[in-house]
Structure 1
Amino acid sequence: MKHSKTLLLSVAVATSISFFACKGKNNTTSTTDTAATIAPEATDTALTPPPPPPAEAAADDSLTTKANDAIKDYPGVSASVSNGEVTLTGEISKAKLPKLLQAVNATNPKKVNNQLTIK
């Protein structure tokens, strides 16, 4: 009984403190004493959205070349590149997989999709 009274008292104190802490504060600042500054009108060029980023075809071509160089020592493995992501397909032994992934990651792709079958 003594523990339940202590617990109830603790909960009541914590609740009253939290309600007091959440109480709204009075805003005593007044906007009537401040002067409004009007910014100059924006030109049309400031409101136009930026142009879309250039196509990454050149980056994909470069990444394709690098990825194919990385997998040339691994027969049965092929790589395809799309939007900066390298997808590996084919078969590889478990012992060779870490070295292959390290070589492909060294080409700095956005992501490597490993769809290899381990034999």
Structure 2
Amino acid sequence: MDKIGSGRSEWVALAPKLAEGADAGNAEGLGIELAYALPKNPQAVLNVVDPLEGDGHILEVSRVCGIPFIETVPAGYKVKALRAVRNVTEPRLRDVKARCIEALEKS
């Protein structure tokens, strides 16, 4: 699971499968790894987050884009993540991109 944080598309793409069987600790870790990947490969991350909000799903936008780090937020993370997500131009990701930006700004 820690490879997901690298942002490599093939690792990020595994997140939905891992989420299916994740317990509480692994679910939290998965969200954190996707958050690490967000500034590196925002399109890949936006492709795997749950498009529905409010259902408590592990891959919910607010959980991934809401800066879910437990202890220390990486230096400059919010600025880098916002810049990266704003640069996503894929039309089909427009709505999830907007919700991710909103979650980042509120965090």
TM-score category (smaller protein): under 0.3
Between Structure 1 and Structure 2, which shows a larger proportion of helix residues?
2
Rg comparison, structure with higher value: 1
**Comparing both chains, which one has the higher relative contact order based on Cα–Cα distances under 8 Å and sequence gaps of 6 or more?**
2
| Higher percent of residues as strand | 1
When the two structures are superposed, what TM-score results if normalisation uses the length of structure 2?
0.27
| TM-score normalized with structure 1 length | 0.25
